[in-house]
Amino acid sequence: MYAFAQHSNMKVIDEPFYAVYLIQTGLDHPARSEILSTMPNTQGEVVKQIDVMAENSDVFVKNMAAHFISLDPHFCTSWCNIFFIRDPAEVITSFAKVIDSPTAEQVGIERQRMIFEFLKAKGLLPPIVLDSNDLLNDPAHVLSMLCEEIELSFEPSMLTWPKGPKSYDGVWANYWYSRTHQSSGFTKRKSESVKLEGLQLDLYRETAQHYRYLYSHSITNPDHASKI
C-alpha cells in the first residue's frame, strides 16, 4: 500500500471492509470501537466509496482475505486482483504478537485460495499472485514485473516512502504498523528461525498446503502458472 501510494496517479485505501468484518464476526480486535464509528458498516457502502474514489484516479485497495468471510466477491470480478502471499509460519508469528491463538480464518490463506479460484473462474481479469519474500529480495525488479502484469507504469518513487504514520493508514495503525512506520522502503527481511509449537504448529500444517498452491501461481515462481 505504501509503495502504490507514491504513484503519481494512485489513491490508496486501507482495509475498507474492516468494520463490516467486525460486525459480521463480533470479534473484539484492537481499536474496534474506532473502526466501527469511522468506517462504512456495509459492503454496499464500502463499494460505493471505492467507486467514488475511482472516478478520477486509479485506486489501490488493500484488503485482507479474512474480511471476506461473508462478503459477496462478485463486486471485484472486474477489478485487477493481486494476491499478496506470505509463508504462513511468518503470518502466524505476526498475528500471535497482537491476537492470542490466531485461527486459520484469521490467517486467511485458505480463504485467499478460495477467492483466487473464484476469480480465476469468474473474473474478467486473471488474478495475479506475488510472494512477499520475493518482493523484498529484489524490490525494483519484482515491483516493475508486477506493474507490467497489471498494465501500470512503474515509477521508481514507488520504492521509497517517508517514515512515520500516513494519512491513509487505518485507525488501527497504532496496534499493527509500528514496525512499518519505521521503514522508508523495502528491506530484505532478516533470516529468522520461526519456532512454532502446539496449536500454532497445527495451524501451520493446516495452512501450508494453501500457501504452496498459491505460490505455484506467483509471478516470481519460475514454474508459475500465471497464464491461466
The number of beta carbons lying within 10 Å of the beta carbon of residue 168 is 15
Q: What is the mean pLDDT of the chain?
A: 89
58-67 burial: b if 16+ Cβ within 10 Å, else e: bbbbbbebbb
Q: Tell me the pLDDT tens digit for each residue of 192-201.
A: 566 666 677 8
CATH number of the domain bearing residue 86:
3.40.50
Give the C-alpha separation, 30 to 10, whole Å: 29
Indicate whether 78 belongs to any domain.
Answer: yes
Give the C-alpha separation, 137 to 193, whole Å: 17
33, three cell numbers: 470501537
Indicate whether 97 belongs to any domain.
Answer: yes
Full domain range(s) for residue 157:
2-215
Residue 62, SS3 per DSSP: strand
More confident residue, 98 or 146: 146
Q: What is the pLDDT of residue 88?
A: 85
Rounded to two decimals, the pTM is 0.86
Lowest-confidence region among 129-138, 201-210, 218-227: 218-227
Give the C-alpha separation, 46 to 32, whole Å: 17
Per-residue pLDDT at 228 exceeds 50: no
Number of domains in the chain: 1
Task: Answer yes or no: are the C-beta atoms of 156 and 7 closer than 8 Å.
Answer: no
